[in-house]
Amino acid sequence: MFLYYRISFVASLLALAVWAITVAVYEAPRHGDGYGPDPLGVLLYLSLWPVGLLLAHSGLLACLVRARQPASILQGRQGIAIHLALGAGFLAYALYKFHPG
């Protein structure tokens, strides 16, 4: 279970990092250019779900692993707190970048 948690933790961190960096450097085209929605912008918007669900899955694994008294961070000792912080940051950044108002 610890190995599965480690793999899930690293995969969710990598997915979150790739998504955050891509969103940070993405420059949306100006409105009214006549070409319709930008495909990369739509893809980044739709990728909110897989990245968020991967982070939630890893957080649920952290809850299960924590019951076994893990010894290190990669074994899940501080997994719940780390995932709560990452999830809150992900949600705040996604709302900041994609909220229409």
d(CA 36, CA 31): 9
pLDDT of 15 reads: 92
pTM over 0.75: yes
Of 87, 95, 66, 91, the C-alpha closest to 13 is: 87
Q: CA-CA distances (angstroms) from residue 55 to 29, 36, 72, 73?
A: 29, 31, 19, 16
Each residue's pLDDT tens digit, 2-51: 788 888 889 999 999 999 999 889 887 777 666 767 888 888 888 989 99
Each residue's pLDDT tens digit, 57-100: 988 888 888 777 666 665 566 777 888 888 898 889 888 888 87
